[in-house]
Amino acid sequence: MIAGEQALAKRSCMLFSSPDDPVDVWVPELQRNLPEVEFRVAPELGAAADIDYAIVWKPPAGLLASLPNLKVIFSIGAGIDHILADPERPKALPIVRMVDPYLRDMMCEYALLGVLHFHRFMPEYQADQQARVWQRRWPHYTPEMTVGVLGLGEIGAKVAESFRQLGFRVRGWSRGEKRLPGIECFHGRAALPVMLSACHYLVCVLPLTGETAGLLDAAAFAALPRGAVVVSIGRGKHVVEPDLLSALESGQVGGAFLDVYASEPPQPAHPFWRHPRVIMTPHIAGEIVPKSSAKVVAANVRRHLAGEPIAHVVDLARGY
């Protein structure tokens, strides 16, 4: 029986599981885009053998392994580290990461917000406002300021281009060699210190892998020009947080705009909460909005039902 005939024989079934995403928004949106598919919401699995697809964020350990006929795992996230964290995950199944133009655009907005906050002296002007001080600061000259973007994938390439369009000099860094118009591209670990050496602003939009964990450590901060600003929107574990704090204390790093943390939420005693040069947000740089993302998932499910290759399957050997 070919895949299309199979779909006619049995109504396909998708399981939704997320502790953080609104099921009352997600499931109706998925249903609207995939009326031919039945939806279930964990932990109410019904007959587990019915379930063909799972769409998940931080699935509980063992959930995916309990679905004997699962065919594809969809991530409610561009990153898939939240799925790999489950040691019982069925290792042979394809994992599809979220590649969504709306998510990408939100990430660009956030990266611009983070850099511009410091570029336009907002911390200083906020302090002045508190002190009722009227004081102009001489502006940075944007064409002489360099933004570095770590990760030049679906999101990073667009982030880099957004800064280029604003008139910044832009450097980018990726694993393999890349050519992007108007962006000075670097690749590979050996090139990282050279790349960092000119970056007044550094935006990290890498996936979390064995190679990228802990990448932003004391050595990386030391390689930046003094007073550089760090915008961290990939994953918290890219940053060695005690090293960032030391670099902020010494002034080597002039400010940090952070969306992701080694542990989320950070402990109440974490020094980031009260640091005057740190802006924190709760992992919201790019949201997965069902109005847009359900369409992306639906297109991929239809490809699978038609026996066509699904898009954005993670290369598990590479880790992203």
For residues 202, 205, 211, 213, the Cα torsion angle rounded to the nearest 10 degrees is 80
Q: Is 77 in the site for ligand OXD (CB under 6 A)?
A: yes
DSSP 140: P
| Binding characters for ligand OXD, 86-125, by CB under 6 A (x = yes) | ------------x---------------------------
Q: Is 56 in the site for ligand OXD (CB under 6 A)?
A: no
Nearer CB in complex with ligand OXD: 100/243 = 100
Q: Is 78 in the site for ligand OXD (CB under 6 A)?
A: yes
DSSP 87: T
- Across the chain, how many H-helices and E-strands are there? 10, 12
Question: Distance (Å, rounded) from C-alpha 308 to C-alpha 115?
Answer: 41
Choosing among ligand OXD, ligand NDP, none, which partner's interface includes residue 176 (Cβ < 5 to 8 Å by kind)?
ligand NDP
Q: Per DSSP, what are the bridge partners of residue 95? A: 73
Q: Is 59 in the site for ligand NDP (CB under 6 A)?
A: no
User: In sequence order, which residues have a C-beta less than 8 Å from that of residue 43 and are 6 or more positions away?
Assistant: 17
Q: Which residues are catalytic?
A: 235, 283
| Binding characters for ligand OXD, 280-299, by CB under 6 A (x = yes) | ------x-x-----------
Q: Is 258 in the site for ligand NDP (CB under 6 A)?
A: no
First to last CA, the chain: 32
**Which parts of 19-145 are beta strand (E)?**
38-41, 53-56, 72-75, 95-96
Choosing among ligand OXD, ligand NDP, none, which partner's interface includes residue 302 (Cβ < 5 to 8 Å by kind)?
none
φ and ψ at residue 223, rounded to 5 degrees: -75, -20
Q: How large is the C-alpha radius of gyration of the chain?
A: 22
**Which residue from 7, 30, 33, 79 is in contact with ligand OXD, where contact means CB under 6 A?**
79
Q: Is 12 in the site for ligand NDP (CB under 6 A)?
A: no
Question: Distance (Å, rounded) from C-alpha 260 to C-alpha 262?
Answer: 7
**Which residues are at the interface with ligand NDP (CB under 6 A)?**
78-79, 99, 103, 107, 151-156, 173-176, 178, 205-209, 211-212, 233-235, 259-260, 283, 285-286, 320
**Which residues are at the interface with ligand OXD (CB under 6 A)?**
77-79, 98, 286, 288
